[in-house]
């Protein structure tokens, strides 16, 4: 557990999106979540009031932008504004899951780049720093003109795989866009070989798997992605890997978005295990036998401590 040299100047608050994660982070820092009132008016508008003085404090607001995305994102903006008006010295938006990240560039005419819009709104609300985990695309950091710390859930996932003592591993990227992520993961697992699934996406949340680039026959395949949404990509990829002769297939991702048919697909038996983290809360209704949820609270807590103490965050991942 870190020792804060300036503990009375640090405050941690949580939005309603993932209070258990925020409580774990606060425990790692040896403190409690700050008191806050949140409620709704009759027409659905959100109201937030900080219940203690934060004048001159470094404030960290923990809020993933998960379902319902619009409510949670708006709540984050209101929290930021409340802290700015309460004379906080520095406001850091801690966003374990950055919503609206998939539209990070224009791929057709007359589209919005929502990842950039979200960045503008967070900055305009008054945040002076952002801490986020496993962005859908790394260039989102460049959409901000304020300091941005990007941390990774991979150390937690890698530690878990190290305890499983799996043999003949091959790390698989579910699409070409995730090759860099899968390669970095493979390097940390004793330079395990890499395979890539060639995929053609016909529309949003609809994926058609084509073929596997690389050798998976007789191996234990680990599919690595940043998020699992409807689980179409992961499960179709797992089926293809089995057809190509993979002995076992695991899937791991940082963000358990789990939309629509995801649970029925993931629990269908095509995967030995699905490993995710708690950046997004996984309710009991979304739990199934093959699911393992790991905590990233210590990672986020360590990053907050290092930011507060003006020490290196990137050295956590060397």
What pLDDT was estimated at residue 227? Answer: 96
Tell me the pLDDT tens digit for each residue of 8-43: 599 999 999 999 999 999 999 999 999 999 999 999
- pLDDT of 203: 64
What pLDDT, on the 0 to 100 scale, is given for residue 117?
98
pLDDT digit string (tens) for 148-203?
999 999 999 999 999 998 889 999 999 888 999 999 999 999 899 999 998 765 66
Q: Kindly state the percentage of the chain with pLDDT values over 90.
A: 89
Q: pTM here? A: 0.93
Integer CA distances (angstroms), 21 to 104, 135, 270, in order: 27, 18, 30
Cis previous bond, 68, omega within 30: yes
What span, in angstroms and rounded, lies between the C-alpha atoms of 29 and 4? Answer: 8
Of 284 and 6, more confident: 284
What is the 3 state secondary structure string of the chain? CCCCCCHHHEEEEECCCCHHHHHHHHHHCCCCCCCEEEEECCCCCEEEEECCCCCCCEEEEECCCCCCHHHHHHHHHHHHHHHHHCCCCEEEEEECCCCCCCCCCCCCCCCCCHHHHHHHHHHHHCCCEEEEECCCCHHHHHHCCCCEEEECCHHHHHHHHHHHCCCCEEEEECCHHHHHHHHHHHHHCCCCCEEEEEEEEEECCEEEEEEEECCCCCCEEEEEEEEECCCHHHHHHHHHHHHCCCCEEEEEEEEECCCCCHHHHHCCCCCCEEEEECCCCCCHHHCCCCEEEECCHHHHHHHHHHHHCCCCCHHHHC
CA 181 – CA 190 distance, rounded (Å): 15
Strand 129-133 and strand 90-95: the pairing is parallel
Q: Please answer whether residues 26 and 298 qualify as being in contact, where contact means their C-beta atoms are separated by less than 8 angstroms.
A: no
Tell me the two tokens of residue 306.
């290092």
Residues classed as catalytic: 199
| pLDDT at residue number 220 | 97
Residue pLDDT, tens place only, 120-158: 999 999 999 999 999 999 999 999 999 999 999 999 999
Is the pLDDT at 5 greater than 70? The verdict is no
Mean pLDDT of 198-212: 68
pLDDT of residue 176: 86
Buried b or exposed e, range 31-57, using 16+ CB within 10 angstroms: bebbebeeeeeeeeebebebeeebeeb
């Amino acid at each position: 557990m870190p020792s804060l040299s300036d503990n009375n100047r640090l405050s941690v608050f949580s939005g309603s999106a993932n209070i258990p994660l925020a409580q774990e982070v606060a425990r790692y820092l040896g403190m409690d979540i700050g008191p806050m009132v949140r409620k709704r008016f009759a027409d659905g508008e959100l109201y937030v009031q900080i219940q203690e003085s934060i004048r001159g404090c470094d404030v960290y607001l923990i809020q993933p932008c998960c379902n319902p995305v619009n409510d949670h994102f708006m709540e984050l903006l209101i929290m930021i504004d409340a802290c700015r008006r309460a004379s906080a010295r520095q406001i850091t938006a801690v966003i374990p899951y950055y919503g609206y990240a998939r539209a990070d560039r224009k791929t057709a005419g007359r589209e919005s780049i929502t990842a950039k819009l979200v960045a503008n709104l967070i900055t305009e609300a008054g945040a002076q720093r952002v801490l986020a985990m496993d962005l859908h695309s790394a260039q989102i950091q460049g959409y901000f003109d304020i300091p941005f710390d990007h941390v990774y859930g991979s150390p937690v996932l890698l530690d878990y795989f190290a305890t499983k003592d799996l043999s003949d591993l091959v790390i698989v990227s579910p699409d070409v866009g995730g090759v860099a992520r899968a390669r970095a993961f493979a390097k940390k697992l004793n330079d395990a070989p890499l395979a890539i699934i060639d995929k053609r996406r016909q529309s949003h949340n609809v994926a058609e798997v084509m073929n596997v680039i690389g050798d998976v026959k007789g191996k234990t395949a680990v599919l690595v992605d940043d998020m699992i949404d409807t689980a179409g990509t992961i499960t179709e990829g797992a089926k293809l890997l089995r057809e190509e002769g993979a002995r076992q297939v695991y899937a791991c991702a940082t963000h358990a978005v789990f939309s629509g048919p995801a649970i029925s697909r993931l629990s269908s038996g095509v995967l030995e295990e699905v490993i995710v983290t708690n950046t997004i809360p996984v309710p009991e209704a979304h739990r199934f036998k093959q699911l393992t949820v790991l905590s990233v609270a210590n990672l986020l807590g360590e990053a907050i401590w290092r930011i507060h103490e003006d020490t290196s965050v990137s050295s956590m991942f060397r």
